[in-house]
Chain A
């Protein structure tokens, strides 16, 4: 393998590691339909 091949491999592995450790931020608010009272939906 050449240095360029190692660089390509390392860049892909770095992405895979990022997917393992990165958290997914929770939504700031619940979707609109879930926040409505049933009565409001019926109206």
Chain B
């Protein structure tokens, strides 16, 4: 099989773009927390970049993408430490790039997904608990779901579920897990106001930039499909940002700047599963839905009294769910002949398949996260002491502070 230099270059650049998204997420979250928890929030993203980079090459990639172990639930251990993952293409995944390039691209998805969850338990979880949680969650939740949807022989893959770049694998799994973790861990002693909105806008901007690698890179080739994914990603994101700021203006009387950033991220989330299957008009309606539905979901937080500190469930859980279902509505083979038509193009079965994928991901992610959090809480404990929480995690967990202003 011949390696295409253009495809390989695009995939490696895309992997680097997606890598940037994890520290960008740290800045997005870091601006939203109080000033005594900035470093710990940044660390939640940066440490995971280190942690999962090693986990992935040792066993994560093998569990997610090596040949199925029999029933479509998990891969095997044949590719542990990248044994058998070399520089020849693997036609099951990407026929024109080195297998290791595909592995590296997928690594960055595995990195950012547990980092997304950390926004739900910001400002109150011990560093030790966060490390163990992230490692267990990546292994027991992310790797199996990635196998279900993207792995050869995965059961949702075999069922025909469409998820171009990770609506179920990345966003529903992390968003639902965030909700469960927030419920189990409990509320903060005192919630904080965002300490630096400019940091959050910078983070959102870098996320948007990196997301071109996430979605357009998922074409795994540098051709027309990557171009289409790039265009619909930008369009849906823009439309969601415009919609959120308008809905917040209607609701609260002013156009919210932080709302615009959250809306753009919701649009990025929602277009992710659809980005290789829908045209530009579909992407506008997906962005419209993301900006309004995720805004409404965020309004539930104070009513439910769940302290999902940085609204991971509303943006990623609900945004991912809308995107996965919208894929079953707006998908068309005119964009991607390897995909399927959705409801609007005469194929209601695809919508049902998407609903099954969404439901299975919700149930498994919620159940497995419940078990992981409970086990950690009963052994080493999830939360810091009240005195440590009051002092702030930057000082109590890391012995450092973000700003020397005196």
Contacts and interface: CB of A to CB of B under 8 A. Distances in A.
Interface in B355-403: none
A6 to B, nearest CB: 9
Interface stretch (B184-192, B247-255, B268-276): B247-255
Interface string A12-43: 10010011001111000000000000000000
A15 B246 CA distance: 7
Given A12-B239, A24-B254, A2 B281 contact: yes
Interface in B326-351: 330, 344
Contacts of B281: 2, 4-5, 7-8
B284 interface: yes
B282 interface: yes
B243 interface: yes
A11 B282 CA distance: 12
Contacts of A19: 246
Mostly, the A contact residues are helix
State which size class the interface on A falls in. 10 to 19
A11 B285 contact: yes
Contacts of A22: 246, 249-250
B242 interface: yes
Interface string B264-297: 0000000000000001111011001000000000
Given A4-B330, A4-B344, A18 B288 contact: no
A7 B246 contact: no
A35 B249 CA distance: 26
B149 to A, nearest CB: 26
A7 B280 CA distance: 12
A33 B23 CA distance: 35
Nearest to B288: A11
Contacts of A18: 246, 249-250
Contacts of A25: 252-254
B285 A7 contact: yes
Contacts of B239: 11-12
A27 to B, nearest CB: 9
Contacts of B253: 23-25
A29 to B, nearest CB: 14
A34 to B, nearest CB: 18
Contacts of A23: 253
Instruction: Indicate the member of A7, A11, A22 with the most B CB atoms within 10 Å.
Output: A11
B169 to A, nearest CB: 27
B99 to A, nearest CB: 38
A15 B285 contact: no
Contacts of A4: 279, 281-282, 285, 330, 344
A8 B255 contact: no
Nearest to A11: B288
A22 B252 CA distance: 11
Nearest to B249: A22
Nearest to B330: A4
A19 B245 CA distance: 10
A28 to B, nearest CB: 10
A42 B279 CA distance: 61
B254 A8 contact: no
Contacts of B252: 25
A2 B334 CA distance: 14
Contacts of B284: 8, 11-12
Interface of A: 2, 4-5, 7-8, 11-12, 15, 18-19, 22-25
30 contacts: A4-B279, A4-B281, A4-B285, A4-B330, A4-B344, A7-B285, A8-B280, A8-B281, A8-B282, A8-B284, A8-B285, A11-B239, A11-B284, A11-B285, A11-B288, A12-B239, A12-B242, A12-B284, A15-B246, A18-B246, A18-B249, A19-B246, A22-B246, A24-B249, A24-B253, A24-B254, A24-B255, A25-B252, A25-B253, A25-B254
Interface of B: 239, 242-243, 246, 249-250, 252-255, 279-282, 284-285, 288, 330, 344
Given A5-B281, A11-B239, A11-B284, 6 more contacts: A4-B281, A7-B281, A8-B281, A15-B246, A19-B246, A25-B252
